[in-house]
Every structure is written in structure tokens, then in C-alpha cells.
Structure 1
Amino acid sequence: MTDSDPTDAISDIEARIEALAEVAERCRKYILVSKLAIGGGAALLLITILGLFGMGQTAALGSIALVLGGIVSLGSNVSTLRQTEGAIGDAEALRSQLISRIDLRVVADAPMKLV
């Protein structure tokens, strides 16, 4: 980053913010899928325990694995989302600093031409 021309640095930061936003959106999708896996696994476990559909021990073990896998995935993606949101905030703050260094000119009040 150079002090003389911060526009390139601003463009780089905006590209990084967009990439981080995509990561955050992906994390949100995985969080939703993880919650669905936890709910589905819990429902399957309850059905298996109550013996409603005659499912055996394999279904019970599978449902427990689904719940545990969902919990692990949820925790991992929540922490990644928090870190990503923090990085987005830092990048936005840096972008604001760089924008404030630019000597912006005020456009004079000129009549607008209607096309």
C-alpha cells in the first residue's frame, strides 16, 4: 500500500471483503444444514427409541452419529463465521481509513442536463 495512491489498495480491500462475504454466506448455509442434521437426527432417535417404525440399533447409532456430526459442524462453522465477520469489520475499517485519506473534491452546484 502506498500513501500516494490508495485507490488500488481500496480496490484490493473491497475484493477481500467480497471474498470474505462469500465465506460468511457459505458458513451460514452450513450452519443451517447442521441445525437440520441435529433436528433430523434427534427426531430419528426419538422414533427409534419409541419403536414406531421398527427400526433397529443401526438406526439409533446412525441418528446419534447424525446429531453429533451436526453439533461438531455447527460449532466449527459458528466460530469460522465469527472470525470472518471480524475480518470483514477490520477490512471495512481499513477501507474507511484509506478513503478518508483521499482528497475528495466537492462538485459545484451545476444544473443537470436532462437527456
Structure 2
Amino acid sequence: MTENDPTDEISDIEDRIERLAEIAERCRKYILASKIAIGGGAALLLVTILGVFGFGTTAALGSIALVLGGIVSLGSNISTLRQTDDAISAAEARRAALIGSIDLRIVADAPLKLV
């Protein structure tokens, strides 16, 4: 291997892509949980406002907090997911460029020797 051999850098980039993919998957899970929190909080608020089950003001305040917390979490994780996807795209482009720069050798077909 030569000093300019990009295989080590390609391995490092692949490791980084794997770590970024894990972060992206975690963001997707938090986004789903945030959407569930928003929906649950909105449903609880509606039930509280209608007085169906006789929940008090504590339930109304809790549902408002749940909706607001879900919105904040959703926005934060969507932003992080976008940044992570951009970083993955950049890393994949760099990896493709490094793979393209490798000087490949042509291997001629050789007759098979049966032992």
C-alpha cells in the first residue's frame, strides 16, 4: 500500500456513515414519539374542554404542556435529521470520489489449474 492509498480514509468514511445512519434512525423514532405526544395531548385537551370525563384544570395544563413539548421535540429532531442526512450525502459523495480515484489494475483471465 502506498502513502496516497485512500482505503483507510474510505473505511473511516464508511464508519462515519454508519454512525450517522444510527443518529438518523434515532431521530426518526423521536419524531414518531413527538407526533404521538402531540396527538395524545390534543385528544386529552379536547376531552378536558368538553368535560367528558370530568378532568380538571391540571389535565388541561398537562395536555397543553404535552402538545408544546411534542412540537418542540418534533422541530428539533426534524432539524437534526436534515443535518444528518446532509452529512451522510456529503460523506457518500466523498467516499465515491475516493473510490473513483483508486487506480484499478486489469487482471487477465488465466487458465485454471486443477489440482
Q: Given the two structures, how large is their TM-score scaled by the length of structure 1?
A: 0.90
Cα drift, residue 104 of structure 1: 1.8
> 1:6 — aligned with what?
6
* Runs of 4+, deviation exceeding 6 Å: none
SS of residue in 2 equivalent to 1:54: coil
The answer to whether the aligner puts 1:72 opposite 2:72 as a matched pair is yes
Cα drift, residue 53 of structure 1: 0.5
> 1:62 — aligned with what?
62
Structure 2: distance between partners of 1:31 and 1:9: 33
Task: Count residues with an aligned counterpart.
Answer: 112
Cα drift, residue 49 of structure 1: 0.4
Q: Percent identical across equivalent pairs? A: 78
Q: Which runs of 5+ in 1 are unaligned?
A: none
> 2:20 — aligned with what?
20
1:90-101 alignment runs, 5 A limit: 90-101=90-101
SS of residue in 1 equivalent to 2:100: helix
Per-residue deviation, residues 56-94 of structure 1 (Å, max 9, x unmatched):
000000000000000000000000000000000000000
Q: Which runs of 5+ in 2 are unaligned?
A: none
Q: Given the two structures, how large is their TM-score scaled by the length of structure 2?
A: 0.90
